[in-house]
């Protein structure tokens, strides 16, 4: 099992959990849910189970998406404790130069607590309007959005509200959110190498964009479970932990929202069933705190149905937690966790078609995906695919039967680490898979060769838009 000096290890049975329950949880995850990347389960402050699905690994940070919000909330709590602001301060106090020419009554009434509890009074998420400001001034863009409801009376999930919290921290401290949290939270918890995406004006986006490791998420959850104490030191005021994780607003105004998204919202924390609470992010990034069971569950994943993950935790893990230690029975679980993996495409190392198309270049017509040309080189141990795109050249080496480490274009010209594999899955079809293993995203591309053409069809496991992209037809140059 993975070890971390910050999280003392124990067997599940020693902490009152049968290993069979964790085994059943993992079995259900693999059978019913698209893909986990990692998880850590803590009980009584001890790490009783940890697992990564290679090529995901303990030493890699992972995108948190909106789980970042809970860290932003913590920064506000620390700033309140330092006397820099109160949650009852008007939002406009911090942005006098960005206010609209005419300030509505509802905008004037908006307080920091409304940003924290997603009850700003907006009728819809203000993020699109805020981030589309022509000068990259997201604060001005946020304040320009109509505030339809009286603040505090209406819940709308609103990542731009969290951005405003980050902007307030930077206004008050002349430090980014990341720089502010580093000596106050990250260093005491032993979190190293954290990164946070910024807006065009250099303000950490707050509502998303933080990347840390799974074990760091677990430490953060344990900090909150222990009312802000870490290794005997009060890092976050206990009063803030209680306030931030309490229900401040009803969030059951959307009948389509899953059940664990209707239990109330705190200060950038969701209330759950079973008196639990959590921070979470898109595609299944979780920090679930279960006070009644004295337990924490940290998860990174790439799943389309986030409620399904919680359902399995409530079904298999939570009811299995008992007060007294149990008889040891963990060998089967250890073997199960050691054998987890995400496999690259399975198929043949080569094909008669490989010799015909290897070294050929294919040109594509104008398309929204920005793919201009593709060159394929096939060998018995893998392949090399080189694409010319609107963002530049992307050259990826793919292993056969295993993953080949490298880097690839990810989004808007950004290059990220990747593990790549491929195989001939039919005589004329090569399937390539790119696992961006610091994110939940795995891109699978099929290349079907016929005559002097190639049909290029990419698909991503999860995404904010369509997962299956339109097929493109390329012709040999």
Q: How far apart are CA 176 and CA 73, in angstroms?
A: 14
| CA dihedral of residues 234, 238, 244, 245 (deg, nearest 10) | 110
The phi, psi pair for 348, rounded to 5°, reads: -85, 150
What's the pLDDT at 232?
95
CATH of 13-338 among 3.40.50.12280, 3.40.710.10, 3.40.50.1100, 3.40.630.30: 3.40.710.10
Return the bridge partners of 111, or none: 90
Cis previous bond, 95, omega within 30: no
Note the Cα 364 to chain centre separation in Å.
33
Of the candidate CATH numbers 3.90.1150.10, 3.40.50.300, 2.40.128.20, 2.40.50.140, the domain formed by 352-476 belongs to: 2.40.128.20
Question: Domains of the chain: which residue ranges?
Answer: 13-338, 352-476
10-residue stretch averages of pLDDT, the chain, 477 residues long: 93 98 98 94 98 98 98 98 98 98 98 98 98 96 98 97 98 98 98 98 98 98 98 97 98 91 98 98 98 98 97 98 97 97 96 96 96 95 95 95 96 92 98 98 98 97 92 95
């Amino acid at each position: 099992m993975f070890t971390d000096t910050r999280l003392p290890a124990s067997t599940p049975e020693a902490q009152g959990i049968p290993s069979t329950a964790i085994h059943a949880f993992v079995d259900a995850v693999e059978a019913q849910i698209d893909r986990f990347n990692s998880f850590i389960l803590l009980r009584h402050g001890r790490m009783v189970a940890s697992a990564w699905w290679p090529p995901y690994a303990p030493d890699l940070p992972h995108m948190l998406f909106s789980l970042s919000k809970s860290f932003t909330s913590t920064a506000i709590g620390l700033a309140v404790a330092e006397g820099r602001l109160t949650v009852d301060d008007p939002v406009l106090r911090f942005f006098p130069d960005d206010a609209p020419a005419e300030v509505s009554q509802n905008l004037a009434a908006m307080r920091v607590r409304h940003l924290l509890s997603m009850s700003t009074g907006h009728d819809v998420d203000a993020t699109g309007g805020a981030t589309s400001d022509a000068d990259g001034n997201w604060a001005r863009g946020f304040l320009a959005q109509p505030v339809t409801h009286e603040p505090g009376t209406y819940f709308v999930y609103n990542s731009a509200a969290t951005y405003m919290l980050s902007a307030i921290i930077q206004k008050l401290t002349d430090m980014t959110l990341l720089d502010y949290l580093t000596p106050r939270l990250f260093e005491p918890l032993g979190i190293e190498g954290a990164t946070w995406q910024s807006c065009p004006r250099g303000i950490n986006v707050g509502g998303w964009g933080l990347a840390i490791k799974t074990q760091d998420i677990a430490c953060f959850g344990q900090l909150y479970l222990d009312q802000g104490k870490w290794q005997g030191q009060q890092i976050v005021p206990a009063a803030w932990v209680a306030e931030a994780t309490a229900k401040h607003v009803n969030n059951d105004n959307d009948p389509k929202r899953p059940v664990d998204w209707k239990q109330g919202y705190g200060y950038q924390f969701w209330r759950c069933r079973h008196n639990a609470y959590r921070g979470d992010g898109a595609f299944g990034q979780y920090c679930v705190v279960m006070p009644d069971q004295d337990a924490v569950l940290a998860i990174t994943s790439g799943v389309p149905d986030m409620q399904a993950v919680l359902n399995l935790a409530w079904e298999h893990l939570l009811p299995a937690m008992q007060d007294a230690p149990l008889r040891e029975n963990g060998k089967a679980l250890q073997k199960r966790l050691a054998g987890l993996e995400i496999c690259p495409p399975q198929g043949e190392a080569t094909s008669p078609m490989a010799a015909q198309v290897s070294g050929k270049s294919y040109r594509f017509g104008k398309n929204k995906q920005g793919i201009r040309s593709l060159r394929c080189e096939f060998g018995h141990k893998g392949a090399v695919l080189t694409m010319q795109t609107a963002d530049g050249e992307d050259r990826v080496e793919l292993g056969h039967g295993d993953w080949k480490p490298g880097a690839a274009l990810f989004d808007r010209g950004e290059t990220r680490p990747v593990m790549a594999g491929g195989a001939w899955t039919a005589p004329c079809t090569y399937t390539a898979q790119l696992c961006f293993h610091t994110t939940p995203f795995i891109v699978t591309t099929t290349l079907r060769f016929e005559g002097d053409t190639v049909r290029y069809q990419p698909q991503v496991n999860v995404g904010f838009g369509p997962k299956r992209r339109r097929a493109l037809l390329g012709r040999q140059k």
